[in-house]
Amino acid sequence: MKAPSVMSHLKPAHIECSKEDIAEVVIMPGDPLRAKYIAEKYLEDAKLINKVRNMFGYTGYYKGQRVTVMAHGMGMPSVSIYAFELFYFFDVKRIIRIGTCGALDESLGIPDLIIANESYTESNFAYSYNGDPTHLAYPSESVTNYLIELAQEKGLKYHVGSVMCTEQFGFYSDNEHVLKRVPEDIHLLGEEMETFALFHIADSFDREGAAILTVVDSKYSEAFLTPEERERSLDDMITLALDSIL
């Protein structure tokens, strides 16, 4: 099913810049300060192009390739706003989410990476968005396969598989009853709160969406990342996403 139509007079309500200010490829962390960190550490000639609601967006160059790094906030409602506006108003071709997640499989360690090839949700997000009753959404196959290829080349510890996209932070809820309802043929690696909406909206526009997630907590472990370890592990995810645009 395709993207919903909007009134012709509408302009983006959450991104304030010109169409030319945003690159065709956007890397999206949830945290606005992480977008700032990426722009300052990895981009050349980075320019702040959005600060509405402090949802910072920057456009610059990574190894000569123009790219935008912009935050999307937390949860499906938030990422859906920014993904829709980027695809609809700014003609973005690809969005790669880079975020954190919790492990739902005891084989995953901290800080392993997950390259998501499927996102499952109990939410009725898709039906609300465009009348699609589905609870499964998929990323761009070509972008996902290239991320896997790059992760192999870099020697990163990564997993490929399904993630659960929830409407409630898993560690602050009793979610076992939810996990028991997941179809038996879906083996979940991790849980987070945004991928389904991104994949579904990208598909509705016939654009590319993908996601790389860093495992930062696990129901099977009491391990805790120090700030230095967390930064280093997130840097692996960040550079994997950035290198994929070259």
Per-residue pLDDT reduced to its tens digit, 107-165:
999 999 999 999 999 999 999 999 999 999 999 999 999 999 999 999 999 999 999 99
pTM for the model: 0.96
One-letter identity of residue 25: V
Residue 5, in any domain of the structure: no
Tens-binned pLDDT, residue by residue, of the chain (246 aa) = 899 988 889 999 999 999 999 999 999 999 999 999 999 999 999 999 999 999 999 999 999 999 999 999 999 999 999 999 999 999 999 999 999 999 999 999 999 999 999 999 999 999 999 999 999 999 999 999 999 999 999 999 999 999 999 998 887 888 888 888 999 999 999 999 999 999 999 999 999 999 999 999 898 888 877 777 777 779 999 999 999 999
Q: List the catalytic residues.
A: 217
SS3 content of the chain, % helix, strand, coil (to 5): 35, 25, 40
Residue 93, in any domain of the structure: yes
Q: How far apart are CA 120 and CA 104, in angstroms?
A: 13
Residue 6, in any domain of the structure: no
Q: How far apart are CA 237 and CA 80, in angstroms?
A: 22
Residue 180, in any domain of the structure: yes
**Structure-token match 């192999």, residue found:** 152
Phi-psi region of 154 (alpha: psi -120 to 50; beta: other; left: phi over 0): alpha
Number of neighbours of residue 240 by Cβ within 10 angstroms: 22
pLDDT of residue 183: 94
Q: Residue 160, exposed/middle/buried by CB under 10 A (0-12, 13-18, 19+)?
A: middle
pLDDT of residue 142: 98
Q: How far apart are CA 204 and CA 224, in angstroms?
A: 38
Residue 236, in any domain of the structure: yes
Residue 8, in any domain of the structure: no
DSSP string, 5-66: P--TT---SS--S-GGGS-SEEEE-S-HHHHHHHHHHH-EEEEEEE-GGG--EEEEEETTEE
Domain CATH number, residue 193? 3.40.50.1580
Residue 11, in any domain of the structure: no
Q: Residue 69, exposed/middle/buried by CB under 10 A (0-12, 13-18, 19+)?
A: buried
Q: Token digits for 180?
A: 């028991």
pLDDT of residue 175: 80
Residue 13, in any domain of the structure: no
Q: How far apart are CA 106 and CA 188, in angstroms?
A: 11
Total structural domains in the chain?
1
Structural domain boundaries, residue 137: 19-243
